[in-house]
Amino acid sequence: MKAKPFLIGLSAGILGGMTAILFTAPQSGKELRTNVRYNSVKAKDDLLNVKKQVVQVKESVSTLKSEARNNIPKIISELKESITKYKQEIEPQTEKLKQEIESLQQSITEIENNLSEANNKKENK
């Protein structure tokens, strides 16, 4: 494909498209230019607002990261202390429960032995 005919065709297409747009536009040229200017200014303002918001989000993320770095170790330390304290507080009850369970197991063993002896006496009679 040769470049010269392609460029001529492209130029003709662009000119034809622009002509068609100008003749079919529902606004006059002055109104169209005013609208284009207004929309371009509005688009620039919107873009600036988006940039500002992106900067704010980056700052918020940075602040969150630094707070997390500073506070998470402290929270973990406090949590470990709370768990240790809880274990120390429940240790006496845990020991008491263990003793009660052992006592109940001994009672069950004695009852089983007594039942076994009673059955043996009954069978011997």
DSSP-assigned letter for residue 25? -
CA distance 74 to 93: 30
CA distance 73 to 80: 11
For residue range 7-24, what is the model confidence (pLDDT) as tens digits?
Answer: 788 888 888 887 777 677
User: Residue 125: its pLDDT value, please?
Assistant: 65
Q: Is 49 part of any domain?
A: yes
Q: Is 66 part of any domain?
A: yes
Q: Is 21 part of any domain?
A: no
Greatest Cα-to-Cα distance within the chain, rounded to the nearest angstrom: 127
CA distance 33 to 27: 9
- DSSP for 45-96? HHHHHHHHHHHHHHHHHHHHHHHHHHHHHHHHHHHHHHHHHHHHHHHHHHHH
Residue recorded with tokens 């662009």: 14
Those residues with Cβ within 8 angstroms of residue 27's Cβ, 6 or more apart along the chain or in another chain: 35
Whole-prediction pTM value? 0.41
Q: Is 12 part of any domain?
A: no
Q: Is 68 part of any domain?
A: yes
* Number of domains the chain contains: 1
Query: What percent of the chain shows pLDDT beyond 70?
Result: 92
Enclosing domain of residue 106:
28-124
For residue range 12-67, what is the model confidence (pLDDT) as tens digits?
Answer: 888 888 777 767 767 676 877 787 788 788 888 888 889 999 999 999 999 999 98
